[in-house]
Amino acid sequence: MEYFTHSEKDLITLGKKLAANFKAGDVVLLSGNLGAGKTTFTKGVAQYFGIKKNITSPTFSLMNVYPVKSAGGRALKGQFNRVNQLGTNNLEIRTLVHIDTYRLENEEKLLEIGAEDYLGSTDTVCLIEWPEKLKKLLKNKKIVKINIEHLDAGRKVIIND
């Protein structure tokens, strides 16, 4: 599936729209050149899940963990296994994890900071920038691949799941 966006606001809106289809345990691989919009897309996903914090790329910390407040504007408050208006069951998601492996030397560094506990967890969605650097940690995970290309007049976003 392909989408075209023409502004940062459009890319954030697309992140919100696509987040409605993410399921607990999904590992979303965000590929694209430096400055393509991976973190901007993540901002939209975070907004969908009610996260009000300023979303920045965890280039130096490697991983940011955010508690999920809502799904599409619907407060969680223990509402497990309810289906949202789009027919996807994402109200069980309690944690959004944003990983950036741009500066990662080896996968063991992610193990040291506890990333393995979140990858594929039944109450978590993980978004990973620069996933090409990971191999072992992604085995047997529910993967959604999103490639963001910077175009002269915006971005092209390609989703493969």
31-40 tens-digit pLDDT: 999 999 999 9
Tell me the fold of 2-160: Rossmann fold (3.40.50)
How many whole angstroms separate alpha carbon 21 and alpha carbon 8?
Answer: 21
**Nearest in space to 41 (alpha carbons), one of 67, 25, 22, 60:** 22
Backbone angles phi, psi at 156, to 5 degrees: -110, 125
DSSP structural state of residue 55: P
pLDDT at residue number 87: 43
Domain ranges for the chain: 2-160
The CA-atom distances, in angstroms, between 26 and each of 37, 62, 118 are: 20, 19, 10
pLDDT at residue number 88: 46
pLDDT at residue number 79: 43
Choose between 133 and 76: higher pLDDT. Answer: 133
